[in-house]
Structure 1
């Protein structure tokens, strides 16, 4: 059985046509309910990106201006880095080289200080490599410096509360009882390594440093109160399928309810960084400014870890298979979360099958172009 507990919401043409949940919070545990929450990992990046875009819409930041004025201490800023490079994973800080302390990921001040001193792995803007954990600390610091509020507080006040989202970057204690614990993926005996896992076993590579030099949050603290209350803007968001779908549904009409506009949202579908081999994930990737776009990696083996959505769709996958996205062309918003992780950092067969069924129900017929088409 692939699932322990899960939730799925599909919003089409303004109506929730699917809003289901089921299973249990843990083997032998309580039933998964309408309001059960779980860690949605990198789906959090989309929420963090929206905070930055909202500040840009207000004129508080310029995504393409040199970072040196705002954040002169950041070595990557001194080498030409911009906020847009943070958003599309090209700024060159996907990992830290020197060993980190076990609780590094729950100590934002520590991570910021380390990132400020880190020499970029490449000239900012010249390559693309997935910033699996550093993304949130970099952009969270931008939000804090500009707004005077922490990332979690800004997201709560400016996006989650106005939209009525049960989505938290930094979980309040009152919501603890509703959170289902995470159960990690266990590869089958003899299962071949993906390109990502092969790179993770190669000392010195950015992939290896990300996997083995990120402290103990993913392996231990993610299921603790301390791990859930920490504001981890790249991976620590806690939500459910309804919250993910509802956040993306608010962008289908241009994002006016949170102060965005159609021109800004249209840019989310535009690829600003594309590569045949991501420096961390080691597969082809396509990113807009803070969002994943359709990336058809079926040729890459092991089920083709990637994401196949519509041509104009944008969203984000979370490690193990959670997913939220919007497709303006289809009038579609989608949210899926679960607590038994699947393989990989991108979308696996389990989540992709739900996406595929959704598009078929809307009259889409083929993924031959690398995205769902009618």
Structure 2
């Protein structure tokens, strides 16, 4: 392990060391407090590629990319160019098709809009995810999988296209271009959605030793709960699971890095993730990304009181969401009021206005899962972090 911690955060350093004693992969942890770096740690190595690992190394951020994209959206909301309560059709007229005329920007951001997966018959599989036009066209013409606004279900793949197309329609820039121009370049971040080839040498691949449930496993589990696997929503969900393994492999390729997949192919490091989230809640070198009013609006709970749509209403509800940000696990990590996003494999980007804490955590060994509980590697250092900021 290398790096530093400020006085009072030694427990975080010790917890990070314990968390990665048996981890064969690499990890980074960076924490800001009131706009100042108080923790900057990295450890491990890449067992497969032999690439070196340090504080400036990059890796795929998975669904932390959604937190990056949500921040882009809220910059536009803050500027009055997007309105959360306005129907999406006002910005993206084609989206009004197939019963979606009243779907609002808020419905899209909070995973309530009924487009949680591409239809099983859409022809959108893992290889098609790099075709932006095909994906947004399929979503614009799609009939919702449930009545929008009445339930929520995590839009694991589709959310990025929906939010990203809103960004493109309003700003004239793709999500990757907007992120670079409005966030990464001004703050000096190593953070991309659509990685330039010149940065490819810095990327350390992710890997996964654990057995993930296959589409057949998930189908059997759902069926055992008495859920009809022939239902449209179930078939769409299973198609997403079936595309997962090929999609994971895609994210370790140059093609997967170069594309803009705002739900999951953001690339960066812990320093940059933490610095971006710190700039949402405070000023960093003269730059603040969101006003306090925008932060409070962005983190308002949007799915409490809702359940999953039938026939998946028997599934556990898991995490709750605000306007594009996750709430449940950020609050568990830092405290009530925290917002951010957790990504498959254990990545984290979180901000907590009440304490002034913002953090980024990235790793290459995909132990954690963005649809379940906390990654076991978080507990030792996050517990110490909470104790440090009391």
Give the structure 2 partner of residue 13 of structure 1.
34
Structure 1 residues 22 and 51, CA gap change in structure 2 (3 angstroms): same
Q: Distance in 1 between matches of 2:201 and 2:159?
A: 28
State the partner residue of 2:180.
156
Deviations 1:67-117 (A, max 9, x none): 222222123673411111111110110101214244111111111111112
Cα 1:197–1:107 change in 2 (3 A) is farther
Counterpart position of 1:231? 260
Aligned length: 349
Say yes or no: does 1:207 pair with 2:240. Answer: no
**What are the superposed Cα offsets for residues 32-63 of structure 1, whole Å, 9 maximum, x if unpaired?**
11210000100010111111111112221212
- Which has the higher mean CA deviation after the structures are superposed, 125-134 or 2-11? 2-11
Q: Aligned to 1:78, which of 83, 97, 100?
A: 100
- Report the alpha carbon displacement of residue 184 of structure 1 after superposing the two structures with TM: 2.0
Kept in 2: contact 1:44–1:235 (CA 8 A)? yes
Q: CA separation of 1:133/1:197 partners in 2, compared to 1, >3 Å: closer, same or farther?
A: farther
Q: Paired residue for 1:291?
A: 325
Q: Which has the higher helix share?
A: 2
Q: Which of 342, 346, 351 is equivalent to 1:326?
A: 351
Structure 2: distance between partners of 1:337 and 1:154: 23
Aligned to 2:274: 245
SS at match of 1:285: coil
Give unmatched runs, 5+ long, in structure 2.
1-21
Aligned to 2:295, which of 265, 271, 275?
265
Structure 1 stretch displaced more, 348-357 or 137-146: 348-357
Q: Superposed, which structure 2 residues align to 1:44-63 within 5 Å?
A: 44-63=65-84
Q: Please give the TM-score of this superposition, normalised by the length of structure 1.
A: 0.85
Q: CA deviation at 1:260?
A: 2.6
Q: Cα distance 1:251–1:101, how it changes in 2: closer, same or farther (>3 A)?
A: closer
Quick one: structure 1 residues 32 and 271, their matched pair in 2 at CA, closer, same or farther if it must change by over 3 Å? same
1:301 maps to: none
Q: CA deviation at 1:213?
A: 4.4
In structure 2, the CA distance between the partners of 1:266 and 1:76, relative to structure 1 (3 Å rule), is: farther
Q: Is the partner of 2:241 in helix, strand or coil?
A: helix
Q: How does 1:20-35 map to 2 (within 5 A)?
A: 20-27=41-48, 29-35=50-56
The corresponding residue for 1:68 is: 89
Aligned to 2:376: 349
Q: In 2 relative to 1, CA 328–26 (structure 1 residues): closer, same or farther, beyond 3 Å?
A: same
Corresponding residue to 1:146 among 158, 162, 170: 170
Tell me what 1:274 maps to.
304
Secondary structure, counterpart of 1:112 in structure 2: helix
**1:198 maps onto 2:221 in alignment:** yes
Structure-2 separation of matches of 1:253 and 1:16: 13
What per-residue deviation string (whole Å, max 9, x for no partner) do you get for residues 149-190 of structure 1?
A: 11100110011111111110000111100001010241399x
The range that moved more, 250-259 or 148-157, is 250-259
3-state SS of 2:90 partner: coil
Larger RCO, structures 1/2 (Cα 8 Å, 6+ apart): 2
Residue of structure 2 in register with 1:314 after alignment: 339
1:300 matched residue in structure 2: none
Paired residue for 1:302?
none
Larger deviation, residues 44-53 vs 207-216: 207-216
Distance 1:354 1:85 in 2: 35
TM-score (norm 2): 0.82
SS at match of 1:16: strand
Per-residue CA deviations over 1:229-282 (Å, capped at 9, x if unaligned) read 111111110011111111111122279825531111122332122257545774
- Give the aligned partner of residue 222 of structure 1: 251
Residue number in structure 2 paired with 1:303: none
Contact 1:39 1:237 (8 Å CA) reproduced: yes
**Runs of 4 or more above 6 Å deviation:** none
